[in-house]
Structure 1
Amino acid sequence: MRRRKTAVAAGCCLAFLLGTLLNVLFVPGSEHPPPPHEGAPPSPPGAPFSPPEEDGGGRAALERQIRERYEEVLRYRQHRAGRRPLRPRDRRLMDLAPPRTSAEQPGPRGRAVGPRASGSAELSLEPPLLGCRDIRNVSGVQYLGSGYTKAVYKAVLNRTLAVALKAVDFGGHDIARCVRQFSALGDCYRLAAYKIVKEMILLQRLRHDNVLQLYGYCYQDSNDIPDTLTTITELGSPLEMIQLLQTSWEDRFRICLSLVRLLHYLAHSPLGSVTLLDFRPRQFVIVDGELKVTDLDDASIEESSCTSNSDCFMEFPARNFTLPCSVEGRCQNMNEKRNLYNAYRFFFTYLLPHSAPSSLKPLLDKIVNATGELHWGIDETAAQLERVLELYKSGGYLQNTTRTPKAEYRRVPEAFIPDENYRCWPSYHHKGCLLSVFDVNEAIEICDSYSQCKAFVLTNQTTWTGRQLVFFKMASNRILPDPDKITYVKVTD
């Protein structure tokens, strides 16, 4: 019996020792970090790694997130050249500010030192801006789409001006996830609304032809929450890559050129180098043929710090890059290079080379390859695309081509050919062959290259580059008068 008790005691001691050893080896802090929350947006390619947020902390964690986002908004309003008194409507932007703690109450002399006081002047927007009165009687309201945070609607003001209205989507991912975690709809709204405030500030500070225009904003009560924010912006058409691939090379080149001009501006903006962390075609719209960035709530001016080159690692789905670490401890041109490689993989590789003029293809291939390998920065890329534009507009790309007509053509002034259309690709007209040319000689060269082409009609219309639009015809059986057109008929093959 005594031996049995000794064995049991020894077993208990061994179990205790094993349990202690297991607890030491597998303490909670040594476990792998949990996977991202279900449904959370993935980190954008090329973005620096950031650990996932913890669910714990309750309201204190939510207040910390609100304060961090509020302070981020303030950073984007610094470096203002001069300040002006705030209009009452401007102060409404600060209604979203986090509540002050006792340490942030006004000091002995009545001077407020908290974020609400310091932020008022920083968050003011410049006039003239549209407001609630302007959108009170909108018409033609149409839902356009939504993302993780915002919903976007099309509306018509005064039956004349079509605009886009952006607001926090109460049924969107950001609000739903926050409410599920913290059960505080009002504070969750404030957290999401700061992304809209940040975007408003960036739209104001980044003034460029390829940045969407901010027209104004409005506060109104909605969903039992006072002062919900709606922004009023320029309206654009969604960027549909499938449709773009079916357009003329000239229009596709315009998209790439406007994107490069935008990225060149962002690399040298008044805020410093700006990177678009959520860089996807859906973040852009087309306005009058020009590409414009519309979503800036995920833009950043933060430059990654480093101690060695290995800290400057950019990871993309197809390949990775390591940039040099500067003596100042910053990854050299990381914001610029991230934007440029995203432009390559989403735009250049699809839109630039295909169906381009044959004499321009070597230069275009060089541009695509150099950006795909990040051998060039944005300055060199912009200079090379501007060179392509100049060659195309001036007809310089035709100088090294043989331009001996294969057939003779008869010129018929003030005349056009109705019907007699055939289809070609790419064409400006879906039922005919409508192309742009530099001059009559190029039109003759194009007609000679199509076996079905028997005539062409020079119109008085031009493209954005100033090139003339020409209809190519498969016959000339009927010629009618038109003072604005000139017809050329093939007389010999």
Structure 2
Amino acid sequence: MHLVLDPLMTVSDCEDPRERIRETGRGASIPSLTSGRPWVLGGSSEITRTALRNVSGAQYVGSGYTKAVYRVRLPGGAAVALKAVDFSGHDLGSCVREFGARRGCYRLLDLPQLYGYCYQDSEDIPDTLTTITELGAPVEMIQLLQTSWEDRFRICLSLGRLLHHLAHSPLGSVTLLDFRPRQFVLVDGELKVTDLDDARVEETPCTSSTDCVLEFPARNFTLPCSAQGWCEGMNEKRNLYNAYRFFFTYLLPHSAPPSLRPLLDSIVNATGELTWGVDETLAQLEKVLHLYRSGQYLQNATAAGRAEYQRLPGSTVPQEDYRCWPSYHHGSCLLSVFSVAEAVDICESHAQCQAFVVTNQTTWTGRQLVFFKTGWSHVVPDPNKTTYVRASG
């Protein structure tokens, strides 16, 4: 969801947060955005002028070459990010040193609008701009490799959907020239691009295919030159190969359900060789989602040889945990399952498992979360859980 603010709305007492930051230092908390300077906001949204007057607790989050980001809370408690050109940043400083035109340099570093934006007339730079965006978490690849496959697949699926949107945007095919994990954030488990400074719409002009070479550190690709004099699909293919080398190759196959591995491997291989475009890649990712969400990925298994489990409704086992990987909880074995039958299969595959507890919590795909236990010596009532204990060998 992308919220933007009403284009006719004028807020007469909205302060540029950078003024307060200059006074208190980057790491300081900014209590409010209230002063007597005019701001004009654009778009249409749930974010009101009252909400902007009463944001609180602004804190410096981080900065890159161009912008600084600050975390603030709206009156209802929702956290959002304020993103503004960093007046002490690398890009603005080097531009001013080279050209001596602070106002013109600021215009070169202007920000895209996401949730909303505020224009402020200041003495040295008219129409200074701050954007209001969703507040996301940084993409930490080492941490992601330790999460469940289901959550990692969600990131790859959301990236596939993003690339499909970029390939078919109203502006044409958009490529991200600076495509790295640090240019993305995670919002409620989904990957979203946070920096569009280096996005480009125009396809590369060419007179022959020799002008259509996609260069990457590990390998290069030569694309065809169309009759109209444009490299065919270069923007789309650049995004796709970057998705492969930064995300798909690390996050898609590892610890996936065995029956899904061939399809996941084909996605990784096809994007790594650029034999598929964005449309086919997304179609295959959506196919994986369907197989996983519907339970069709489960291999046909027979109940013969399985131990029997006694069902104890309205109960749980608060202790007797063991660790497994990957788990949704670091101190126990908490996994998602499509059905009780799958939970039984998982328990049977763990030598230490003697019981499991089905919760009423579900993941983003609707699968239930289940705790796997070493025993059931202490069963206690819990109306939101059901315990299954191993009754035979």
Q: TM-score, normalising length from structure 1?
A: 0.69
* 1-structure distance, mates of 2:50, 2:217: 47
More helix by share: 1
In the alignment, what sits opposite 2:331? 431
SS of the counterpart of 2:370? strand
Report the more deviating stretch, 443-452 or 134-143.
Answer: 134-143
The counterpart of 2:60, out of the listed 124, 143, 165, is: 143
* 2-structure distance, mates of 1:125, 1:335: 29
In the alignment, what sits opposite 1:157? 74
In the alignment, what sits opposite 1:166? 83
SS of the counterpart of 2:297? helix
> By how many angstroms is 1:402 displaced?
5.2
The reply to whether residue 192 of structure 1 matches residue 109 of structure 2 is: yes
> By how many angstroms is 1:89 displaced?
5.7
Q: Deviations over 1:176-204 (max 9, x none)?
A: 111111222232222222xx1xx22xxxx
In the alignment, what sits opposite 1:278? 178
Matches within 5 A, 1:297-336: 297-336=197-236
| Aligned residue pair count | 360
Q: Deviations over 1:232-252 (max 9, x none)?
A: 112111111111111100000
* 1-structure distance, mates of 2:77, 2:201: 37
The counterpart of 1:382, out of the listed 260, 267, 282, is: 282
> By how many angstroms is 1:221 displaced?
5.7
Q: Is the 8 A contact 2:9 2:42 kept in 1?
A: no
Matches within 5 A, 1:66-85: none
Q: Is the 8 A contact 1:274 1:335 kept in 2?
A: yes
Q: Is the 8 A contact 1:248 1:427 kept in 2?
A: yes
Report the more deviating stretch, 361-370 or 179-188.
Answer: 179-188
> By how many angstroms is 1:283 displaced?
1.3
In the alignment, what sits opposite 1:247? 147
Q: Is the 8 A contact 2:8 2:42 kept in 1?
A: no
> By how many angstroms is 1:426 displaced?
0.4
The reply to whether residue 490 of structure 1 matches residue 375 of structure 2 is: no
Q: 1:129 to 1:187 in 2, by over 3 A?
A: farther
Q: Which one has the largest radius of gyration?
A: 1
* 2-structure distance, mates of 1:392, 1:462: 14
Q: 1:324 to 1:226 in 2, by over 3 A?
A: closer
Q: 2:189 is aligned with what amino acid?
A: G
* 1-structure distance, mates of 2:279, 2:262: 20
Q: 1:357 is aligned with what amino acid?
A: P
Matches within 5 A, 1:200-239: 200=113, 214-220=114-120, 224-239=124-139
The reply to whether residue 267 of structure 1 matches residue 151 of structure 2 is: no
> By how many angstroms is 1:466 displaced?
0.9
> By how many angstroms is 1:220 displaced?
3.4
More strand by share: 2
Q: 1:317 is aligned with what amino acid?
A: P
Q: 1:132 to 1:372 in 2, by over 3 A?
A: same
SS of the counterpart of 1:166? strand
The counterpart of 1:465, out of the listed 349, 361, 365, is: 365
* 2-structure distance, mates of 1:220, 1:405: 72
SS of the counterpart of 2:115? strand
Q: 1:125 to 1:140 in 2, by over 3 A?
A: closer
Q: Deviations over 1:373-402 (max 9, x none)?
A: 001111111111111111111111114455
5+ residue gaps, structure 1: 1-85, 91-123, 201-213
Q: 1:328 to 1:238 in 2, by over 3 A?
A: same
In the alignment, what sits opposite 2:297? 397
* 1-structure distance, mates of 2:299, 2:352: 27
* 2-structure distance, mates of 1:126, 1:227: 16
SS of the counterpart of 1:397? coil
Q: 1:270 to 1:226 in 2, by over 3 A?
A: closer
Q: TM-score, normalising length from structure 2?
A: 0.86
> By how many angstroms is 1:144 displaced?
1.3
> By how many angstroms is 1:492 displaced?
2.3
Query: Percent identity among equivalent residues?
Result: 70
Q: 1:131 to 1:302 in 2, by over 3 A?
A: farther
In the alignment, what sits opposite 1:337? 237
Q: 2:100 is aligned with what amino acid?
A: S
Q: 2:79 is aligned with what amino acid?
A: A
In the alignment, what sits opposite 1:183? 100
Q: 1:126 to 1:88 in 2, by over 3 A?
A: closer
5+ residue gaps, structure 2: 1-6, 12-40
> By how many angstroms is 1:459 displaced?
0.7
Runs of 4+ in 1 over 3 A off after TM superposition: 86-90, 128-137, 220-227, 399-406
Q: 1:312 is aligned with what amino acid?
A: C
